[in-house]
Structure 1
Amino acid sequence: MKKPRSTISTSSKIKFEEPKSSSSSEDEEEIEQELADVTFGELQKARSNGSHLVHPKPKEEKKGGRANKNRPMEVSCKKPVTRFREIIQGSKKVVRDPRFESLCGTLDVDGFRKRYDFLFANELPAEREELLKQVKKSKDPEVIEELKKRISWIDKQLKSESAKRTEAAILAKHKQKEREAAKQGKQPFFLKKSEIRKKRLVEKYKQLKGSGKLEAFIEKRRRKNAAKDHRYMPYRRPDNTEQQI
């Protein structure tokens, strides 16, 4: 019979690999660093409770810095970069409204109207007459349409300026009257928009009556109102007998 091999002889051939010194030293350094961050109070508390586990504080992310001021800033690649970056910081724009800025001076409405009165007194009426002549001479419908639009715009400007002048005259007259009343100790009265509109219509009535165009204006206004009323007037539906016939 064959004798069994002794286990001692085989065991002598086995070599036990010792752990690397480098890995153990690294682990020790990590443990030392973790324990260095733990406060003395937490260590005392762990010992009193009998627990040996101490949770280290989370490590703070290092902010990007520069070793030298001439080098570019290091930014983490984990954080997304904003879409719009301010590369060059320009001067801040200051928005100013000339109506409320003392640097732009004060607006003189009467002086402005006097300086630009030639536009409404001479330029626009002369342009209107010239456009009317061009409408009569031209045969192109598109050109005629453009000329009529320009004439309509000029009429609106002249009509608006005339209404503004009448309103300014009414306000100036009312202010003069209230100043004299205030000197006598009376309470000043300010006109409402509805009162200004009524006085403007009265002034227009006086102007039309003086020029002899009052009857034509009233007839034109009557026809306009009649057409407006006729638009909303209901119509009679046809009877069934009329439909059958």
Structure 2
Amino acid sequence: MDVCTERLVGGRYRLQTLLGRGGMADVYRAHDPVRAHDVALKVFRPHAELIDTERRRHHEVDMLAALHHPGVVRLLDADVTAHSAAPFIAFELVDGPTLRAHIAQGTLDQHAVAALGTRLARTLDHVHRRGIVHRDVKPPNILLPSGLDPEHGAKLTDFGIARVVDSTRMTGEGLTVGTAGYLSPEQVTSDPIGTASDVYARAADDPRRPGSTTGPDLDGHDGPATPGSPERAKGGRSIGDGG
């Protein structure tokens, strides 16, 4: 079934424009008449070859529900059950570019880099205190609301391949997930990872240097689409995009 042909998703969200497409899901700008505002709606496509698809979706929702921080894109609603005609996750819509797109327009000064780094560090501290490792911290997964300085409004998104520390892994043994250029040594060697992997990724790129934010995902795509960002239409996915 092609959800593009349906007027509503979940009997509530009216699709407007496609923001981007990943390997397992499409993200739309959609209108929510209940809240009377627009949201970023991540609509999953059926993947019969992925046995753990529903479990992965629930895993993503459970992690997002545990996070309440201004530096994390907020979860609004979800229906990811197997019997749903079009499983979805609704996020707050962030009208603005990704950090990667922002950097492509010019460098950030030293003060902005320091302030942005501080905000991201505090955001990751919140995530890590709840036992979650993001595993794909990089500029395309950082959204910048329009009208705000990057250091004051930056939001971390795309928890599709995040995992709870010491939890049962849902990727194959020895399989590396993430984006080349931001992988910690333990991710490259498929050793056990922890919160230090996210800290490494945060420091792996210098946002003052133009063109420093590229790098393919390890499944051969350019970069995961991020909820609420128009840059989704240009990106690919990470191995866990959509769940």
Q: In which range does the TM-score fall when normalised by the shorter chain?
A: under 0.3
Structure (1/2) with the larger helix percentage: 1
TM-score, normalized by length of structure 1? 0.17
Q: Which has the higher contact order (CA 8 A, sep 6+)?
A: 2
TM-score, normalized by length of structure 2? 0.17
